[in-house]
Amino acid sequence: MNAFSAPKGTYDLLPPNSAEFLAVREALAAPLLRAGYGYVETPGFEHAELFARGVGESTDIVSKEMYTLSTRGGTELALRPEGTASVLRAALQGSLHRGALPVKLWYSGSYYRYERPQAGRYRHFSQVGAEALGAEDPALDAELLILADDAYRSLGLRGFRLLLNSLGDRECRPVYRAALQDFLRQLDLDEDTRHRIDINPLRVLDDKRESVREQLAGAPLVGDYLCESCKTYHEQVRELVRAAGVTFEDDPRLVRGLDYYTRTTFEFVHDGLGSQSAIGGGGRYDGLSEMIGGPALPSVGWALGVDRTVLALRKEDVELDLSTTPRVFAVPLGDEARRVLFGVVTALRREGIAADFAYGGKGLKNAMKSANRSGAAVALVLGERDLAEGLVQLKDLATGEQSPVPLDRVATALRGKVG
């Protein structure tokens, strides 16, 4: 038994499963690259106060789930539990907001929350995210919704649903907040939940406990309190998304789990995942920049879970094209053949042909077993006699057919075989 194992609630990505996760990350990012989003990477930890201000002290993420640590100098840091606050902090620090707006950024990385481990919920998880900073435009909200939908469909995922809502803005939400607080104070709730009513009552609507959800059946809906400006904005988002052929469901009770959302809020869910059905989500956060000490900077974004997307694909039995195996496997027989064939493999790789090599001085029989196990389509076998004649044997591993090819024509011959 190993002396150490991965910490509880975390996982290692190892071949061959790691190829599936990598393919999902690349597919989720591909539509963003086509839409002009630039890559951003932030530290794995930030000042804890950034998340307390941005995500919200009343959220479970900050109050219960954040990993914190103190430096020798007494600075309190936190492993990042989400990506938006970090990306916005980086954009402000780098003065990106002083240039052309909107600033469109995407990112990919690991995030950390101290949660009860279960299927689809880990203490270390992977996301691909996108943020569009500095513009209040329904077309930008719609763009991100469409890009996420395109990303999921490009993977072959079909059994997901898009839930859509509006949370209003600083003009109309206070009226709704007061009405909601009046309703919640009449319910039979525990002390922690009642405390949350005063800080951020919308968080109570996100409570997953059945005993609480039953009491929320008659709660006032934010849609009934939207001002005309928010109603118009939300309808424009809906029209643009619908015109793009993206199906969605209006969910008047959708609030998400973070304090910074305003107006557009949405969630992608997959019913095959049980209670942890969300595979991605996001929304508009027009006041977040000011919350963390920056200027007014209306923005919108999302984060799509790589882990949960992989689980959803497996639920639908979707097999991705994981073309990571070498197309060519080189088998040298003898020291001089080994030197020459290693050079051939290096040249093939530089020309874009995936190739592997029989390392460890294996004999022909064991080397051919390795070639078959590798999943390669073709084996290159070079012995002393072939070497003297300037040839290499090209063997089709599927049919067993073998033919000699001049050493200086290997790449040309292989293109016809493996592309």
Q: Where residue 292 sits, what CATH number does that domain have?
A: 3.30.930.10
Name the one residue in this structure whose structure tokens are 């880990």: 122
Say if residue 231 is in the same domain as residue 96. yes
> Are the C-beta atoms of 390 and 337 separated by less than 8 Å?
no
pLDDT, average across residues 371-389: 90
Distance CA 97, CA 3 (A): 49
202 falls within a domain: no
Written as one letter, the residue type at 303 is A
Distance CA 36, CA 195 (A): 43
286 falls within a domain: yes
User: What's the CA dihedral at 128, 133, 138, 144 to 10 degrees?
Assistant: -10
For residue 59, pLDDT over 80 is answered with: no
Higher pLDDT pick, 229 / 361: 229
Distance CA 182, CA 203 (A): 15
Last residue of a domain, one of 290, 315, 340: 315
For residue 116, pLDDT over 60 is answered with: yes
> Are the C-beta atoms of 156 and 20 separated by less than 8 Å?
no
Say if residue 283 is in the same domain as residue 346. no
213 falls within a domain: no
Distance CA 144, CA 398 (A): 45
Return the H-helix or E-strand segment holding 161: strand 160-166
151 falls within a domain: yes
Say if residue 160 is in the same domain as residue 289. yes
Distance CA 378, CA 367 (A): 13
In sign, the C-alpha dihedral spanning 168, 170, 171, 176 is: positive
Say if residue 26 is in the same domain as residue 94. yes
Side-by-side strand order, sheet with 378-382: 355-357, 328-332, 378-382, 391-396, 402-406
Say if residue 335 is in the same domain as residue 299. no
418 pLDDT tier (thresholds 50, 70, 90): confident
Kindly report the CATH number assigned to the domain that includes residue 352.
3.40.50.800
| Cα within 13 Å of Cα(26), Cβ side | 9
Q: Which letter, b or e, does each residue of 90-101 get, where b requires 16 or more Cβ atoms within 10 Å of its Cβ?
A: bbbeeebbeeee
Last residue of a domain, one of 315, 341, 359: 315
Say if residue 258 is in the same domain as residue 143. yes
For residue 260, pLDDT over 80 is answered with: no
pLDDT digits (tens, 9 = 90+) for 187-212: 888 888 888 888 878 878 877 788 88
133 falls within a domain: yes
**Domain with 377 in it:** 328-418
pTM of the model: 0.89
Backbone torsions φ then ψ of 274, nearest 5 degrees: 75, -140
Say if residue 296 is in the same domain as residue 394. no
Say if residue 98 is in the same domain as residue 42. yes
Q: What is the pLDDT of residue 202?
A: 82
Higher pLDDT pick, 203 / 222: 222
* Dihedral-angle region of residue 81 (phi above 0 means left; psi in -120 to 50 means alpha; beta otherwise): alpha
199 falls within a domain: no
| Cα within 13 Å of Cα(159), Cβ side | 16
> Are the C-beta atoms of 96 and 144 separated by less than 8 Å?
no
Say if residue 251 is in the same domain as residue 348. no
Distance CA 103, CA 98 (A): 10
281 falls within a domain: yes
Distance CA 361, CA 357 (A): 10
Hey, what are 203's tokens? 């968080």
Say if residue 338 is in the same domain as residue 310. no
> Are the C-beta atoms of 359 and 345 separated by less than 8 Å?
no
**Cis link prior to 102 (omega < 30° from 0)?**
yes
> Are the C-beta atoms of 131 and 88 separated by less than 8 Å?
yes
Number of structural domains in the chain = 2
Say if residue 299 is in the same domain as residue 332. no
257 pLDDT tier (thresholds 50, 70, 90): low
Last residue of a domain, one of 283, 315, 347: 315
> Are the C-beta atoms of 48 and 78 separated by less than 8 Å?
yes
219 falls within a domain: no
Higher pLDDT pick, 273 / 237: 237
Annotated binding site: 82-84, 113, 127, 131, 256, 260-261
Say if residue 22 is in the same domain as residue 145. yes
> Rounded mean pLDDT of the chain?
91
**Which residues, in sequence order, are bridge partners of residue 130?**
106, 302
Name the one residue in this structure whose structure tokens are 């497996």: 314
258 pLDDT tier (thresholds 50, 70, 90): low
Annotated binding site for L-histidine: 82-84, 113, 127, 131, 256, 260-261
pLDDT, average across residues 356-364: 88
